[in-house]
Amino acid sequence: MSTEKKKKFLQGNEACIEGALYAGCRFYAGYPITPSTEVMELMALSLPKVGGKFIQMEDEIGSICAAIGGALAGEKAMTGTSGPGFSLKQEALGWACMTEVPLVIVNVMRSGPSTGYPTGPSQSDVMQTKWGSHGDKPTITLVPASVQELFYETIRAFNLSEKYRTPVIVLFDEVIGHMREAITIPEPGEVEVLERRKPTCPPEDYRPYAIQNGEVAPLAPFGEGYRFHVTGLYHAEDGFPTANQQYIHDTGMRLVNKVEHNQDDICENEELFLDDAEVVVFAYGVSSKSAKFAVKELRAGGVKAGLLRPKTIWPFPSNALDKVVAAGNVKKIIVPEMNLGQIYGEVQKVVAGRCEVQGIFRVDTEPIHPKQIMSAVLGHQVEPTVIPDEVLIERPMDG
C-alpha cells in the first residue's frame, strides 16, 4: 500500500462524488438544480470513464425512478437534488422504502419554502427527509459537516443502504457543497465497502421479502434467473400484493424498526467536552461548524460548554442524547439550526423537561455565527471578536 496518500483540494459536491465512486456507485440519474448541480455534472464526467451509467432525465421524478430501476438491475445507484427537487422525489422515495431497494439520494439543501433562495444555504429539509413521503417509512439521513467527512459519509451511505436494503439520504447544504477543503482519498480497500448480498438459493425457492433472523432476504438483480415481482403495494414474502392485515401490520412495523432498532449501528456522533459540560450545543451540518468554534472559545474562557454533533440525524440519535442528559450535569441544551426548529422539537422530546432547551434559528441564508451560540450559552451578548483563522479552518477528521 502506498504511504503517500492521495490529496485533493475539492468542493463538497465533488468530494461526495469521489466517495460515491469509491463505494462502487456505477449508476446516476439526475436533473439540474442549484446548488447540487456539480454533483450531476461530475457524475456525467466520471461515470463513462469507469464504465458506469449516467443519464440526465426529463425531470426530478424521472431521475429518482430511473435510479431505482438501475438499482433493481443490480447497480449501486444514486441521484442528487436540492430542496424543490427533493420535494418532487418524495413519492418515489417512499416506493424505494416500501420495496426495500438500496439507493443513495444526495440533497444539497437550499433555502425554502418553494424556490426560496437557490444559492443560499439552509437546513430546511431535515424533516422532509423523515416525513416528506406519505406513510411511516424507514429513514436514514446522514448530515456530514466537512468536505472530508462528506467523502466518508457518502461511502457509509452506500454501505448502510446495502446493509439495510433501504434508501439513504446524504443531507448537506450549500456551504458544505461549495466549500473547498484539502481532503485525503484513501487507497482502495482502506475503507470498508459493502457489496450487495445476492441470493444463493435456487430461483424457485427465492422469496425477495422473506425475513431470516430479523433481516430481509438478499435482493436479486433483475435478469439473473430470479424472476420476481416488485410492487409498492403491501406485499407478502413472495413480493405479490397482499390484503392480509396481520402481514400489513408486521411489514409496516418491520420497515420502520429495521432502522429505529439499529440506532447504535447506524448513528455516529462527534462528542466534545461532554464529560463535565453544563451547557451542551446539539448541532449538525453547517451549524455545527460554528458550534464547534463557539464551544472551543467558551472552554478557553473557562465555561463548561460541550458539543454533541450527530453525523446521522435519522434515525434520531436519542440514545446518545439521552445519555448526555441522564448524566445530570447538563443545565441547558442549545440547538442552532438554519430552519425554524425542526430538530429542536426532537431534542425537546428526548430531554422531556429534564433541562432547558434553547433554539437558535436562522432562515436569512446566512450561517449561524459562533457569537450567536456563545451569547446563548452565556446568557448575554458577546462582543464582536476577531476570529483567528486557524480555528475557522477546521482540520477535518482530527476530532
Partner 1 sequence: MTTQVTARTVPYKEKKPFDYSPFLRKGKLPHIWCAGCGHGIVLKSLLRAVDATGIAKDDLAMVSGIGCSSRTPGYVDFNTMHTLHGRATAFATGLKLAKPRLKVIVATGDGDAMAIGGNHFIHACRRNMDMLILVYNNYIYGMTSGQASPTTPEEKISTTSRYGSIEPAFDICELAKTAGATFVARGTAYHAQELEKTLYEGLMHRGTAVIDILDSCPTYYGRFNKYKNVAEMMDKIEKDGTVSVAQAAKLSPEKLEGKQLRGILHRSERLEYCDGYKNLVDRVTG
The binding site for partner 1 (CB under 8 A) comprises 27, 29, 48-49, 51, 53, 55, 57-59, 61-63, 65-75, 77, 91-92, 95, 221-225, 227-233, 240-241
**Closer CB to partner 1, 73 or 378, in the complex:** 73
Q: Which is nearer to partner 1, 57 or 193 (CB)?
A: 57
What CA–CA distances, in Å, run from 67 to 55, 73, 124, 161?
9, 10, 24, 14
- To partner 1, the closest distance from the beta carbon of 357 in angstroms equals 39
CB of 85 to partner 1, least distance (A): 14
- Map residue 336 onto helix, strand or coil: strand
What residues contact residue 237 under an 8 Å CB cut-off, 6+ apart? 207, 208, 209, 210, 211
Using DSSP, state whether 243 is helix, strand or coil: coil
Query: Residue 288: which of 359, 367, 356, 358 has the closest Cα?
Result: 367
* CB 281 within 8 Å of CB 306: yes
Amino acid at 322: D
Give the separation between CA 333 and CA 355, rounded to whole angstroms. Answer: 7
Residue closest to 39 by CA, chosen among 31, 399, 295: 31
Shortest spacing between CB 173 and partner 1, in angstroms = 27
Comparison of 231 and 319: residue with beta carbon closer to partner 1: 231
How far apart, in Å, are the Cα atoms of 193 and each of 55, 63, 218, 270?
A: 24, 25, 17, 22
Q: Which is nearer to partner 1, 241 or 345 (CB)?
A: 241
- CB closer to partner 1 out of 72 and 140: 72
The Cα 152–Cα 147 span in angstroms is 9
Question: Whose Cβ is closer to partner 1: residue 229's or residue 249's?
Answer: 229
Least CB distance to partner 1 at residue 187 (A): 22
Give the residue among 172, 21, 19 at the shortest CA–CA distance from 82.
172
For 67, 210, 262, 387, the CA distances from 74, given in Å and listed in that order, are 11, 19, 25, 49
Q: Which residues lie below 8 Å from residue 226, measured CB to CB, with a gap of 6+?
A: 199, 203, 206, 208, 220
- Strand-strand pairing, 305-310 and 269-272: antiparallel
Question: Minimum distance from CB of 186 to partner 1 (Å)?
Answer: 24
Instruction: Identify which of residues 67 and 170 has a Cβ nearer to partner 1 in the complex.
Output: 67
Find the shortest distance in angstroms from Cβ 330 to partner 1: 45
* Shortest distance, position 226 Cβ to partner 1, whole Å: 8
Nearer to partner 1, 68 or 360 (CB): 68
